[in-house]
């Protein structure tokens, strides 16, 4: 792909500075004075990060082989949706930790010619035999094993219908679904080398995978998981992909494949039926929208909590001069954390499946509601979780996951996040299909106030119900400036997805980093409960000490997220960023 040397990096930095230097609105008495557009100092450890550039199309995903398949589709005349569909099927082969046929997710599609953005909800659903108390033990307490490890944990998968529906509605018409599936089938049948993140992950989940004979047949060599340098062949998955290619998505949801999936789920203690699979439908929804310092944010609506709370937090931050606080400063991280906490408290109270409960979307997105939250933030002291409550938005009313981003030459774009929940889901391959099954039912609330595996608190709004879609944090997002698409982003990371996407945007808009720097920079995360500020390795010890002095319970942990992103620059070039936190990521274009 075309690359420019250091002269282009200067152009890139300059174009971003001009594009993103916007005045701060004087929205809050706590707001600090606005800064002019002088350069914001960037820590030396990320200062040299430069994104790859391309002229015609760009794909950024968590796995290099899938990225290259997407770029090849663009070169063959496919549009961004075609490429995204091909990447989605390919990741089911090359990234079994999260890429999938047996899970679900969300896709945002921007159609440049129509200047329209649509949201495709292919989230998993609860089987129709599901009940509100199905994950409670005899003592009335949540049974975490039931919602994460056995057949009851499996939601009705939506990925195959979701990808096929995106292609049917918004594909270029130049490439058939079979042509887009063919590269994935070939990789599954011929085998892929066990390397990178796949090689790292298999030993970590050997115990979970080894519980199921059908899984051992795929991922084990004798009594051990496949080792680095060996070959993973997925013949049953290749046959499933070929069947879908030949007969369309109905072949996954009815007939022999569906029967084998149901048999596997029920033998593991689950309640799914063939009627549940046959009845699965994709939902098209209206994205949520907000503004931040002159930019328009377009993101995923419920049953994702991501878009609402991303915009809610940005609304709060808009009244603070983050740039004036400085990149990586304790004051900036403190302000981010204090804005995050109330959003997660609101998430626990109000969010659920919008087809079942009324979510106060307009109130949560209102700038006036953000003003009330901002007024409670003490710039010198962290608020303990017990002092943070869900607000009242009504007056303003009238995990393992993977994300990829695609932009084509016409300006069409896709932000897609999909998941099995845990890495490898419940670890069960449905015998004869090669399909790993999800454990998304854990994303429901087992009971009001209970925490799920990611520590997120839920309410009756997210209770288990027949056919319901569990709440998610997945946050595929577009950023626009003056009506022009600027950024395509999103991330895996469970509860940390929202704050990962948030900090990519803040790094671009407030700190005027280039895209690679914005993705590389260390992140923090606070989700209200547990009352802990998670900080990535790489943040200065002095900064961490200052945060502790402000009252934060700081916990330094490993890196999180994989914010694979694409950005369109002023001169029309595309910049890509593949998050270096995960092995084998790649941003590439032509």
Catalytic residue ranges: 401
Q: How far is CA 78 from CA 74, 148, 173, 177, in A?
A: 5, 38, 8, 11
d(C-alpha 90, C-alpha 83), whole Å: 10
DSSP 30: T
Q: Are 440 and 150 in contact (CB under 8 A)?
A: no
DSSP-assigned letters across all residues of 453-504: TT--B--GGGB--TT----B----EEEEETTEEEEEE----GGGHHHHHHHH
Q: Is 111 flagged in the annotation as binding? A: no
Q: Are 178 and 245 in contact (CB under 8 A)?
A: yes
Q: Is 459 flagged in the annotation as binding? A: no
d(C-alpha 202, C-alpha 224), whole Å: 10
d(C-alpha 204, C-alpha 162), whole Å: 30
Q: Is 473 flagged in the annotation as binding? A: yes
Here the contacts of 332-337 (C-beta below 8 Å, separation 24 or greater) are: 333/524, 333/533, 333/535, 333/539, 333/543, 333/547, 334/379, 334/382, 334/547, 334/550, 334/552, 335/377, 335/379, 336/499, 336/502, 336/503, 336/506, 336/524, 337/382, 337/524, 337/526, 337/533, 337/547, 337/552
Q: Is 60 flagged in the annotation as binding? A: no
E strand or H helix that includes residue 346:
helix 330-350
Q: Is 191 flagged in the annotation as binding? A: no
What's the longest Cα–Cα distance across the chain? 67
Q: How far is CA 231 from CA 62, 90, 94, 204, in A?
A: 19, 16, 11, 18
Q: Is 419 flagged in the annotation as binding? A: yes
- With 0-12 / 13-18 / 19 or more C-beta atoms within 10 angstroms meaning exposed / middle / buried, residue 280 is buried
Residues recorded for the chain: 590
Q: Is 568 flagged in the annotation as binding? A: no
* CB atoms near residue 553 (< 10 Å): 15
Cα 224–Cα 229–Cα 230 angle in degrees, nearest 5 = 50
Would you call 192 helix, strand, or coil by DSSP?
strand
Q: Is 421 flagged in the annotation as binding? A: yes
Positions at the binding site for L-glutamate: 123, 419-421, 443, 472-473, 494
Which positions make up the binding site? 123, 419-421, 443, 472-473, 494
């Amino acid at each position: 792909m075309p690359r420019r040397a250091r002269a282009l990096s200067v152009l890139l930095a300059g174009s971003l500075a001009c594009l993103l230097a916007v005045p701060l609105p004087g929205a809050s008495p706590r707001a600090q004075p606005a800064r002019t557009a002088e350069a914001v100092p960037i820590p030396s450890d990320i200062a040299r990060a430069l994104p790859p550039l391309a002229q015609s199309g760009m794909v950024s995903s968590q796995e290099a082989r899938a990225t290259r398949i997407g770029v090849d589709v663009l070169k063959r005349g496919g549009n961004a949706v075609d490429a995204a569909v091909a990447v989605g099927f390919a990741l089911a082969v090359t990234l079994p930790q999260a890429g999938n046929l047996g899970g679900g997710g969300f896709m945002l599609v921007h159609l440049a010619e129509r200047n329209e953005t649509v949201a495709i909800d292919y989230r998993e659903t609860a089987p129709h035999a599901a009940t509100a108390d199905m994950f409670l033990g005899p003592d009335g307490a949540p049974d975490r094993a039931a919602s994460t490890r056995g057949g009851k944990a499996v939601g009705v998968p939506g990925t195959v219908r979701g990808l096929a529906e995106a292609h049917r509605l918004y594909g270029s018409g130049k490439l058939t679904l079979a042509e887009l599936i063919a590269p994935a089938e070939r990789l599954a049948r011929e085998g892929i080398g066990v390397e990178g993140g796949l090689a790292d992950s298999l030993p970590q989940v050997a115990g979970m995978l080894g519980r199921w004979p059908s899984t051992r047949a795929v991922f084990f060599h004798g009594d051990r998981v496949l080792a680095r340098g060996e070959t993973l062949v997925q013949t049953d998955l290749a046959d499933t992909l070929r069947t879908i290619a030949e007969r369309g998505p109905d072949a996954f949801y009815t007939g022999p494949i569906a029967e084998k999936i149901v048999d596997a789920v029920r033998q593991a203690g689950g309640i799914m039926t063939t009627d549940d699979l046959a009845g699965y439908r994709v939902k098209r929804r209206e994205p949520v929208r907000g503004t931040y310092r002159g930019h328009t944010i377009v993101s995923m609506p419920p049953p994702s909590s991501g878009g609402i709370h991303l915009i809610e937090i940005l609304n709060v931050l808009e009244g603070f001069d983050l740039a004036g606080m400085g990149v990586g400063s304790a004051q900036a991280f403190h302000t981010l954390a204090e804005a995050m906490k109330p959003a997660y408290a609101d998430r626990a109270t109000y969010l659920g499946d919008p087809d079942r409960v009324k979510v106060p979307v307009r109130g949560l997105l209102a700038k006036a509601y953000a003003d009330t939250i901002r007024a409670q933030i003490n710039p010198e002291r962290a608020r303990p979780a017990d002092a943070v409550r869900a607000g009242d938005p009504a007056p303003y009313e009238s995990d393992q996951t993977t994300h990829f981003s695609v932009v084509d030459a016409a300006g069409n774009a896709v932000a897609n996040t999909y998941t099995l929940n845990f890495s490898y889901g419940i670890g069960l391959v449905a015998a004869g299909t090669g399909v790993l099954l999800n454990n998304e039912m854990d994303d429901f609330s087992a009971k009001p106030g209970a925490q799920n595996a990611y520590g997120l608190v839920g309410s009756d709004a997210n209770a288990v119900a027949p056919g319901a879609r569990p709440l998610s944090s997945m946050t595929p997002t577009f950023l626009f400036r003056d009506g022009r698409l600027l950024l395509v982003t999103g991330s895996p990371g469970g509860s940390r997805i929202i704050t990962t996407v948030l900090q990519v945007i803040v790094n671009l808009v407030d700190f005027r980093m280039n895209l690679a720097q914005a993705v590389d920079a260390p992140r923090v995360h606070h989700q209200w409960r547990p009352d802990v500020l998670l900080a990535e390795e790489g943040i200065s010890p002095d900064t961490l000490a200052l945060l502790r002095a402000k009252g934060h319970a700081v916990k330094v942990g490993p890196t999180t997220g994989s914010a694979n992103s694409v950005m369109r620059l002023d001169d029309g070039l595309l910049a890509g960023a593949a998050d270096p936190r995960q092995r084998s990521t790649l941003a590439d274009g032509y």
